[in-house]
Amino acid sequence: MSIALIARCNSALADVLSAIICRVRDTTGAVPLVSAYDGRERSWSPPAPLLFQRQVGHENRAITAGEHPRHAHRRARRHRPD
């Protein structure tokens, strides 16, 4: 993220973007490259450093627009170890 971009946005937005970037960075400090599925186009995007991603096991996956938090919560409850 360039310094010029940060300077143009307000401080609250900069704080949010900074928190997201810190959360998704890997051990090397880079944002991992992940592919995302576009349901409308029915295709996968090339790997990119997407800010909205989550870790599933040892793999990072994109959080897509069709993935509602309520569904993620239900999925987590179904796959919770007993």
Burial class (CB in 10 A: 0-12, 13-18, 19+), 53: buried
List the domain boundaries for the chain. Answer: 3-78
Q: What is the 3-state secondary structure (H, E, C) of the chain?
A: CCHHHHHHCCHHHHHHHHHHHHHHCCCCCCCCCECCEECCCCEECCCECCCCEEEECCEEEECCCCCCHHHHHHHHHHCCCC
What tens digit of pLDDT does each residue of 19-51 get?
A: 988 888 888 989 999 998 888 888 999 999 988
pTM above 0.75, yes or no: no
Instruction: Give the pLDDT confidence score for residue 48 in this predicted structure.
Output: 93
